[in-house]
Structure 1
Amino acid sequence: MFQKIAVLGLGKVGHLAATLLSDAGFQVTGFDARVHGAEPPFARQALDVSSRADLDVALSKVDAVLSCLPFHLNIGVAQAAHAAGIHYFDLTEDVSVTKEVRSLAKTAKGLMAPQCGLAPGFIGIVGAHLAQSLETVRSIKLRVGALPRNPTGLLGYAFNWSPEGVVNEYLNDCEVIEGGERKWVSSMEWLETVYVEGTRLEAFTTSGGLGTMCETYHGTVANLDYKTLRYPGHVALMNFFFHELLMRDRREDAGQILTHAKPPVNDDVVFIHASAEGVDDSGPRRHEFVRAYRPLILAGEQRTAIAWTTAASACSVIQMTRDGQLPASGFLKQEDIPLDTFQRTSLGGLFAG
């Protein structure tokens, strides 16, 4: 059992996560580079996370930390959490960050749990649940997309998520299992068509969405991959932007250009299309989890779909850890979290649809 938790980064997701954790009975302190705006329902302080000394002081007063910071800041936070002997949670999709967190977990006093957001995160919990009832698993296919409900322009997109994170996903290589072989493939490839609630979408490879699943299922699943969902035509334009215009060599500039051109919207939708195919005791079988999550009112305000799905997923994992339903130390794989238990938390039930 623990009660005191620090939430680092008070953007839309971080602020909501801090609010939801406070509502769930945690003693929350939110930290950001600047403290401004209306007083939230939790304590907050200014913090320069690049200062290890200041970070150490902040984490010395809590039992756990949730990092909602850009991925490149998470290693420093994880190292500070490890030194303080507290639980660590983050939302990262970055493979190198997770590798470092896993290394720290070998000697951690608390639980080290990266990738607690939507993808990686909730989608891995779903994928593992779909596969567990199959005796032989031929494939696990996981697709997620956070999109504007009313798209405009050729890209059909709005940057409701971190531009750094999106650029990272689009350019870094992707781990998959293909034909029983664990391998790395290029992002923005393997294009296919997917429908969710009658909406036609395109799916293509992006980095990080599987988290640790390739390691977990290597040798037992023949094919495993993760793809991002977008409206048709998006990936061709992004390939042109990054590769023909060579913006892949200017990642920071690329993120700024894209965010300026396609700013966030409030009316968004998160599409999920997950499936597992294989054989059970009755013969060939396909299990699916297909949802479209839209904005809803949480803690008295309307929240975007990407904000509440990400924050609620992380908060559910934190609640499960507090309540003794997950390990108290070591490294946590998202695919080891039972979906049924997750959905019995006060926030996990929102995903049942």
Structure 2
Amino acid sequence: MKHIVVLGLGKVGTLAGELLHGAGFDVTGIDMRAAPSDLPFITKTCDLSSPSSFEADLAKPDAVLSCLPYHLNTSVATVAHAAGIHYFDLTEDVPTTRAIMAMSSDSKGLMAPQCGLAPGFVGIVGADLIAQFSDCRACKMRVGALPQNPTGLMGYSFNWSPEGVVNEYLNDCEVLEDGQIKSVSPMEWIEKLYIDGTELEAFTTSGGLGTMCETYLGRVPNMDYKTMRYPGHVGLMNFFFHELLMRDRRREAGEILVNAKPPVEDDIVYVHVSAEGLINERLARREFVRGYKPIEVAGKRRTAIAWTTASSVVGIIEMVRDGGLPNSGFLKQEDVPLAGFLATTTGSSYEDYGAF
């Protein structure tokens, strides 16, 4: 794997292209708008909402990374599957992932969705913790991408795709409870937790577990994923979406929220993963708790959500290229070894820049 096409050159896509270039890949970036002229890789423009417009661009490369909104990924994966090349994306959308999984049954290349932060890195960490137990009774995964200096009652800024946030706030959530796979409502199961003295609330959101419920069914009886926010956020979001019925107007809801809470540069990504069970026949608990802040990457200061997301997928792509992961079929994030991921040029950032 040498030549990779990156579709979508927003903050994450642009940084992913730069990291891939720095890791030795030949990169072509494609977006609907003209890209900055100072990027170290080739760029093109085309209508990414139409698969026919980029089909020819996926005929010759070895892989494609989609950094597009989730609803475009199935079409990209279909083109990649037909071309016989590797496919990677960042989606949290469950129906999209299931469609890509179905394609992988006869794919010539690797089909690897959900390679971002959550799902993605958080699942890699969760699997590593579970493996430390002879009998794991529970695994809980929590991620929050937040402003360092929150303002207002909501305490939030939309540094991530509004479409993705609205999607995960409204779609049902898969969990393992008492040994059974269950579907539960989003923005429920509210809990309080603290990271380095900062009070946070966590609540169910969709997609963060990826394929882990199916993988650990019969092995880990209780598992769930929750999003972390500052206290009071989930109550306001439930009011906005359900009492004001904005759940029926998703696109407009995203526009309203971003207009009210635009992105900030000083963000922080909290990761809190824990597992409990038996180690050497004694009850124990293991935790992975980190706070990731903006850092300088490829000569520019990058937000925490941008570099953690881009680093996750690029680290996985490095592992596939170098033989550390399969090169065909379907990749589950829980099958990615944490030690191998952290040993990659890009994935090592998670080890180097995590506080706490």
- TM class by shorter chain equals over 0.9
Instruction: Give the alignment of 1:230-309 within 5 angstroms.
Output: 230-309=229-308
Aligned match of 1:162: 161
1:37-72 Cα shifts (integer Å, max 9, x gaps): 333111000021233322210101210000000000
Scaled by the length of structure 1, the TM-score of the pair is 0.99
Judge which range, 108-117 or 343-352, deviates more. 343-352
Aligned match of 2:219: 220
Separation in 2 of the partners of 1:101 and 1:184?
21
Separation in 1 of the partners of 2:215 and 2:299?
39
Instruction: Give the alignment of 1:332-343 within 5 angstroms.
Output: 332-343=331-342
CA contact (8 A) 2:2 2:26 kept: yes
CA contact (8 A) 2:9 2:35 kept: no
1:231-266 Cα shifts (integer Å, max 9, x gaps): 000000000000000000000000000000000000
CA contact (8 A) 2:124 2:333 kept: yes
The residue identity in structure 1 corresponding to 2:85 is I
1:174 and 2:173 correspond? yes
CA contact (8 A) 2:177 2:222 kept: yes
1:123-153 Cα shifts (integer Å, max 9, x gaps): 0000000010101111000000000000000
Q: CA deviation at 1:282?
A: 4.5
The residue identity in structure 1 corresponding to 2:170 is L
The residue identity in structure 1 corresponding to 2:338 is L
Separation in 2 of the partners of 1:243 and 1:51?
33
Instruction: Give the alignment of 1:31-42 within 5 angstroms.
Output: 31-42=30-41
Q: CA deviation at 1:221?
A: 0.6
1:314 and 2:313 correspond? yes
Aligned match of 2:42: 43
Separation in 2 of the partners of 1:262 and 1:51?
31
CA contact (8 A) 2:67 2:89 kept: yes
The residue identity in structure 2 corresponding to 1:229 is M
Which ranges of 4 or more aligned residues in structure 1 deviate by more than 4 Å? Answer: none
The residue identity in structure 2 corresponding to 1:100 is A
Instruction: Give the alignment of 1:1-353 within 5 angstroms.
Output: 2-352=1-351, 353=354
Separation in 2 of the partners of 1:181 and 1:94?
21
Separation in 2 of the partners of 1:36 and 1:338?
34
Q: CA deviation at 1:350?
A: 1.2
SS of equivalent residue, structure 2 residue 97: helix
The residue identity in structure 2 corresponding to 1:331 is F
The residue identity in structure 2 corresponding to 1:89 is F
Separation in 1 of the partners of 2:49 and 2:271?
35
1:301-332 Cα shifts (integer Å, max 9, x gaps): 00000000000000000000000110010000
The residue identity in structure 2 corresponding to 1:137 is C
Separation in 2 of the partners of 1:162 and 1:53?
25
Query: Structure 1: 5+ residue runs without aligned partners?
Result: none
Separation in 2 of the partners of 1:70 and 1:196?
31
The residue identity in structure 2 corresponding to 1:213 is M
CA contact (8 A) 2:118 2:143 kept: yes
Q: CA deviation at 1:196?
A: 1.0
Q: CA deviation at 1:23?
A: 0.6
Judge which range, 7-16 or 50-59, deviates more. 50-59
1:146-177 Cα shifts (integer Å, max 9, x gaps): 00000000000000000000000000000000
1:47-100 Cα shifts (integer Å, max 9, x gaps): 212333222101012100000000000000000000000000000000000000
Separation in 2 of the partners of 1:253 and 1:109?
40
Cα RMSD, aligned residues only: 0.7
Judge which range, 240-249 or 343-352, deviates more. 343-352
SS of equivalent residue, structure 1 residue 310: helix
The residue identity in structure 1 corresponding to 2:286 is H
Percentage of matched positions with identical amino acids: 64
